[in-house]
Chains A and B, each alone.
Chain A
Amino acid sequence: MLEIKNLHASIDGKDILKGINLTVKAGEVHAIMGPNGSGKSTLAQVLAGREEYEVTEGEVLFNGKNLLEMAPEDRAREGVFLAFQYPIEIPGVSNVNLLKTALNEIRKYRNEEPLDSMDFLNMIKSKMSLVDMPNDLMQRSVNEGFSGGEKKRNEIFQMAVLNPALGILDETDSGLDIDALRIVANGVTKLRSPENAFVVVTHYQRLLNYIVPDYVHVLFNGRIIKSGDKSLALELEEKGYDWVKEHITEFVGQ
């Protein structure tokens, strides 16, 4: 589904991603871990099409299409969804409105009829129960005045509604209390199917108890320096990044 080959990206002339290689197949969950500032959000934003980042080298294929050539909205319409690490507040635009417009733009792109109001509302209701989304948050302006945890929950709720092929979750777990973490993570697990895939950026192993990854990658200084299965996350939690840093000297030395 997603093939990232030797991806280099910079912002304001500063190189952040320095050769990322990653292949994600349908049905898989990939966790990306790594210290602060290592480039995890940069990778997520570059995949979603944030224009401020300049891709200096490499390519990204999404279902065989050149993702980097697409406008951000077309990536969304092709099925890429980014749950933001820091969701944006949009005063004056209600959550319901955002979703309705987004859905219909996506449907239009796929030559589908707009959803009628009843179908839309029914669908929204079922997705709300999936992540236990309070009703009043629906009518409020997008993320405006939401608590940190509510914003994160809202991201996952939006993802549930838009039903993307590839969900990229950038630290969705941080800011969630223990119960919310369980609810949101179980919601994601329910969304898993053989047709879709998830890239989950996190600092904590506890999320991965719920969303069990097929692969775990360690991103350090703009490169994936180690990949493994879910046990790598446990190992990291135990040994910390110092252990990885030892590894990197080895890696760079190669």
Chain B
Amino acid sequence: MDKHKELKELFNKGFTSLENRLNGGTKGELHTYRKDALKRFNELRFPTIKDEEWKYTNISPVIAKYFKPSADSAVIADAKGVDRFFINRNDFIHLVFVNGRFSDELSFGWKETEGFTVTNLKTAIKDKPEIVSGYIGKNAVIEDNIFTALSSAFIEDGTFIYVNKNTVVEKPVHIFYVTNSNEEIMNAPRNLFIAGANSQIKVIESYEALSSAAYFTNVVTEIFLEEGAVVEHIKIQDEALGAYHIARTEVSQKKASNYLSYNVDFGGSIVRNNLHTRFDESGAENNLRGLYLTSGSQLVDNHTRIDHAMPHCLSHELYKGVLNDSSRAVFNGKVMVRKDAQKTNAFQENKNLLLSEDALVNTKPQLEIFADDVKCTHGATVGQLSKDSLFYLKSRGFSHDTAMRVLIYAFASDVVHAIDIPEIRDYLEKKIAEKLATGLEN
């Protein structure tokens, strides 16, 4: 039997046990969505490198495994040791998930307070089913993406954030998806962030592991910015080195809203991020910054798409990569400027530093411009450290290694300098330095 069929059987069986477990929960609209998603999953096929969108990212190692839906596995979600990942224990709102399951005990500061709701999705499905069904699947459609369909079929938990209009959430919300499992599991968290008109929120999404067995994170995040909303979204992917991580983030922006994204990849064996934003109304802007540091045989693929569907919007994108050993990276940045999107400003840049002859990056900016009064630039560079800079530092007494490290660090950390949550910025800077220090030891 072919692998695809086998996997379908496995996941369909998993779906049946999900339904059994949900017992009362199979009536509502959300479950209809799950069933549609499963149906779509059964119709679609897994992509291969013959598919344009997956040309440089061969996911056959992912489907060669038999990942069980995590909620279906017998593994106890052991939360011991999770607190080591906390960055600011006192001043952030924490939501912790272990193997896809919400940990009530480790999460704190989360609640429904005046003006906003931060909770796990399961609670929201119970308490606010109409809001959840009103938003879920609206930005991340299941039609065209087998991983989204699969993830959506197994929606059980994740993070739900709803900020009322005119509300500023002062405390950053830090969400942890931690894997601690000796079984090969699939975690399928679902995030739904809704920022009301003129509201503001900062969200950090961290992926961490306490175990080293292979696992698969298949996450879908949908973000809705109403008029004038400001969302800062930091995604820190630090999965185990043997893990697979496929993430789809879909953002829609209303008038004069501002979405700021930092997407940092440290871990994972095969990583694929799809970050798509769409301007639904005019006068909005976004700023997408990404950093991938790869070593060993890691593969990190970032596909971004910015849809300038409306006029007078501004997008700024900067993705940087540092690749060592025989690691690989893919950057595919699509910017679409539709016919009516006059006065669009779109700037895109992708810069890569190759530290080894065996490292490889495939970078492809894709501008599709159908309006005429626009300002768009894009650029991609792939290179080594400048010899002049290295010599300059050595002439000041820097050892070769120190000079390398200082220059690479300067190149990479530039991406996170503008983060305005100091603890997160400090954490990332330290983490970048650490990863570069270990990645250079060869």
Interface size on A, residues (CB 8 A): 31
Nearest Cβ on chain A to B401's Cβ, whole angstroms:
10
Closest to A51 in B: B391
> Which residues does chain A contribute within 8 Å of B413, judged by CB atoms?
92
Total residue contacts A-B, CB cutoff 8 A: 72
Alpha-carbon separation in the docked complex, A82 to B386 (Å)? 19
- Given A77-B397, A102-B398, do A84 and B392 touch, yes or no (CB 8 Å)? yes
A90-B389, A91-B414, A93-B410 given; A49·B395 CB < 8 A: yes
Asked if A106 CB lies within 8 Å of chain B CBs, one says: yes
Q: A90-B407, A92-B414 are in contact. Are A72 and B402 (CB under 8 A)?
A: no
> A88: which B residues are within 8 A, CB to CB?
386, 388-389, 391-392
Report yes or no: A93 in contact with B406, Cβ–Cβ below 8 A. Answer: yes
Q: Are B410 and A90 in contact (CB under 8 A)?
A: yes
| Residue of A82, A87, A141 most packed against chain B (CB within 10 A) | A82
List of A residues within 8 angstroms of B406 by Cβ? 93, 97, 101
B residues within 8 Å of A by Cβ? 386-389, 391-400, 402-403, 406-407, 409-411, 413-414
CB distance from B434 to the nearest CB of A (A): 17
Q: Chain B contact residues: over half helix, strand or loop, or mixed?
A: helix
Q: When the two chains form their complex, are residues A98 and B396 in contact, meaning their CB atoms are under 8 A apart?
A: yes
Q: Which A74-110 residues sit within 8 Å CB-CB of chain B?
A: 75-77, 81-82, 84, 87-88, 90-93, 97-98, 101-103, 105-106, 109
Tell me whether B402 and A105 are in contact (CB under 8 A).
yes
B407 touches A93 (CB 8 A): yes
Please name the residue on chain B nearest to A105 by beta carbon.
B397
Complex Cα spacing A72 to B393, Å:
9
CA distance A72 to B391 in the complex (A): 8
A76 and B395 within 8 A (CB) = yes
Contacts of A43 in B (CB 8 A): none
Q: What A residues does B399 contact at CB under 8 A? A: 73, 105
Q: State how many angstroms separate the Cβ of B89 from the closest Cβ of chain A.
A: 28
Within 8 Å by CB of B397, from A50, A76, A87, lies: A76
The 8 A-B pairs at the shortest CB distance, nearest first, are namely A92-B410, A76-B397, A102-B396, A88-B392, A72-B394, A106-B397, A105-B397, A73-B394
What residues of A have a CB within 8 angstroms of the CB of B394 in the complex? 49, 71-73, 76
State A157–B400 Cα separation when bound (angstroms): 23
A48 at interface (Cβ–Cβ under 8 A)?
yes
Interface of chain A residues 12 through 42 with chain B (CB within 8 A): none
CA distance A182 to B380 in the complex (A): 44
- Cβ of A202 within 8 Å of any chain B Cβ, yes or no, is no
